Structure 1
Amino acid sequence: MPATYSLHKISNADNFGFSPGDYSRFKYGDDAVAYNYGTALADGFIAQHLVRGDISQQIVVISSPYSFIPTATFTLKNHFVARLNRWLAAHGQPVVQETKVHRTITYKEDYGELNAEERLRLIGNDSFHIDKAFLTNKTLVFLDDIKITGSHERMIMKMVGEYNLQNEIYMLYFAELVSGSIHPKIENFLNYYSVETIFDLDTIIKSGRFCINTRIVKFILNYKHDSFCIFLQGQTDEFINNLYDMALGNGYHTMECYQPNLNHIRNLLFTYNKNLV
């Protein structure tokens, strides 16, 4: 069984120990919040495990699984690693290595709306893959932003069993739901706290500290078409091109629910390139 560490333990639906507004912005690409979360999680992990000398092998940090577009956890991971490396280097220890868990399936459902059984049924259709040879004689640290029902952790441990990984394993979370009396839909309350409409994304995207992720791409592509078109009018060519490329990379052009909005982007880019010529 892996060792589990979470920075915040949610036992009260009215007091999370962190700002719901900041968490929501983080989930939609606010890198400034990701910096705060990643560094705080690293400091907590260092104090809980590294200062005591619990880990002697080189650490491999692994963000939550993704196909092409990173998740919000990926930006948290970047700052977690930066903070951790400074401590490791200052104490004469090998710095962190990184690898990726590859996933094979993408889905349109909003994970935060589902209960424990529905989450496991949805994610259970997926399969995770990792480079076993690269991990030999190393300590594995799997990162995720929040643990609600544990279905994601069970899938990771299923992969660990399938690959017969013998490594020491840590599962790290910024926050963890520890009360059985709180419905898993509390995750959606957090996710949408600062982002109710597509236009709420504007300040995040134009903040100067924006990192695109899977959640924001799906949210935009699945939005009502008329509002989506108005929203795009206020975005830069760079953002629109990046949105389109990320969507193609995840295969969203093959999903019927995203096609109207993606077709609009494609037509915009075709017209723009034609005018350039």
Structure 2
Amino acid sequence: MIPYTYALHKIDNNINFGFHADDYSRFKFGDELVAKAFGKQLANGFIKDFLEDNLASEQIVVISSPYCFIPTATFAMKNYFVYQLNNWLVDQGRLVVQEAKIHRTITYKDDYGELNAEERMKLIGNDSFHIDKDFLKDKILFFLDDIKITGSHEKMILRMVKEYGLKNDIFMLYFAELVNHDIHPNIENFLNYHQIKSVFDLDEIIQGGNFCFNTRIVKYILNCDFNSFSIFLERQSDDFIHSLYNLALGNSYHTIACYSKNLTHLKKYITNNNLKLT
């Protein structure tokens, strides 16, 4: 089936995005305050532009972008999207949304945002997506993601939909979408790293009181150079260090060679500072 696609912001140039690039960068690296704003804005936009005139009576299921153990940045945005949407649905006398997870087996460590469309599809094409088909029966599905650049993730989701034989009405919802295809897809990394130029730029977000872990920040920290990583650890709380290690294990990052030196040091750091490993 052909899904309905909605994006709050349409990116047609590389200067004005409809949102602040610094905010987007902070969002991608765990600033939950920005995730809250983005989620509420996306919900309000979709309600105004579509749901007010097209609200169906079926149960809605909201599904965040696929992940393994550590959620993506979209997961935090999804929470506030759901809160805002539920408030509106209750006012309309409708059922509040349900949620489901796409379980993802990831086969790569590369920085996806630097790649073109062909490279992205080649990379992500080896991943596998899984979902509870029976739970979704006869429900409307909202697949939520932060940005659509080449559509590779959307193609993978629709491949999963086909493989599972899902007959649901499907909506693909994005905070932003690149609509000018003369712009190289690496504009995604321009946005991702607009405010984060080194691991030390993360301190303001981590210590700002509105931080939540996601896949990107864990990978970024584990992949930085060893000297920077060592200094960075000294500046973090015990709780942060504890969470970083356990999340890394949960996503099997201990099996990825380029993370091994930093992860080994992290384990030793925990041991030497008498922090519990669990």
TM-score tier after normalising by the smaller chain length: over 0.9
Distance 1:55 1:271 in 2: 58
Aligned to 1:14: 15
Aligned to 1:270: 271
Secondary structure, in 3 states, of the residue corresponding to 1:52? helix
- Cα separation, partners in 2 of 1:255 and 1:206, compared to 1, 3 Å: same
CA contact (8 A) 2:107 2:126 kept: no
Distance 2:54 2:115 in 1: 39
Aligned to 2:133: 132
**1:202-213 superposed matches below 5 A:** 202-213=203-214
CA drift of 1:106 comes to 4.3
CA contact (8 A) 1:105 1:127 kept: yes
Aligned to 2:45: 44
CA contact (8 A) 2:9 2:175 kept: yes
Aligned to 1:176: 177
CA contact (8 A) 1:25 1:204 kept: yes
CA drift of 1:211 comes to 0.6
Distance 2:7 2:81 in 1: 13
CA drift of 1:50 comes to 1.6
Distance 2:181 2:61 in 1: 32
CA contact (8 A) 1:138 1:167 kept: yes
Aligned to 1:33: 34
**1:92-241 superposed matches below 5 A:** 92-241=93-242
CA drift of 1:85 comes to 0.5
Distance 2:132 2:250 in 1: 21
CA drift of 1:4 comes to 0.2
Secondary structure, in 3 states, of the residue corresponding to 1:171? strand
Distance 1:185 1:104 in 2: 24
CA drift of 1:271 comes to 1.4
CA contact (8 A) 1:10 1:179 kept: yes
CA drift of 1:270 comes to 1.1
Q: Deviations over 1:93-139 (max 9, x none)?
A: 00010000001124210000000000000000001000000001100
| TM-score, normalisation: structure 1 | 0.98
Secondary structure, in 3 states, of the residue corresponding to 1:263? helix
- Cα separation, partners in 2 of 1:274 and 1:2, compared to 1, 3 Å: closer
CA contact (8 A) 1:24 1:191 kept: yes
- For 2:235, the aligned partner's letter is G
Distance 2:155 2:177 in 1: 15
- For 1:251, the aligned partner's letter is S
Count of aligned positions: 275
Distance 2:267 2:107 in 1: 21
CA drift of 1:46 comes to 0.9
Distance 1:87 1:68 in 2: 31
Aligned to 1:84: 85
- Structure 1, gaps ≥5 residues long: none
| TM-score, normalisation: structure 2 | 0.97
Aligned to 1:68: 69
Distance 2:74 2:143 in 1: 11
- For 1:12, the aligned partner's letter is N
Distance 2:214 2:107 in 1: 13
Distance 1:67 1:274 in 2: 26
Secondary structure, in 3 states, of the residue corresponding to 2:62? strand
1:53 aligns with 2:88: no
- For 1:134, the aligned partner's letter is F
- For 1:143, the aligned partner's letter is L
Distance 1:150 1:260 in 2: 34
CA contact (8 A) 2:114 2:186 kept: yes
- For 2:159, the aligned partner's letter is K
CA contact (8 A) 1:106 1:250 kept: no
Q: Deviations over 1:177-210 (max 9, x none)?
A: 0001100000010000000000000000011100
CA drift of 1:73 comes to 0.2
